[in-house]
Amino acid sequence: MVKRRGSDSVEKKIEEFASAADRIIESQKDVDSEAPRDYKAIRVPFNQHEYELLEKLCKKTKRSKLNMIRYALKYYDENDV
C-alpha cells in the first residue's frame, strides 16, 4: 500500500488559498472621461470594407474617424449591447 506524505497539509493549503481568493476585492478607480488622451495609443488595421464603412459613418454623422470610434465605445458601454 502506498503511503501518502502530507496529503492533509496540501489539501489544507489549497483550501486556504481558495478562501483567500474570495476575500480579495479590487477597488475600482474613478477615471476621468475628459482627461487628456495621453494614456495609451493603439494602431488598428482595417480591411477595405471596414475602412469604407467607417468613412461612410463619419460622413453621415459629421464626426472624425477617431471621434466615431470613441463614440462607439461610449455607446456600447452605456447601452450594454
Residue 11: pLDDT over 70: yes
If pLDDT is split at 50, 70 and 90, which confidence band does 30 have?
confident
Architecture of the CATH domain 43-81: Orthogonal Bundle (1.10)
Distance CA 11, CA 17 (A): 10
- pLDDT (average), residues 9-38: 78
Answering whether pTM is above 0.75, one says no
CA-to-CA separations, 60 to 56, 65, 76, 77, in angstroms, rounded: 6, 12, 19, 22
- pLDDT (average), residues 22-43: 81
What tens digit of pLDDT does each residue of 39-68 get?
999 999 999 999 999 999 999 999 999 999
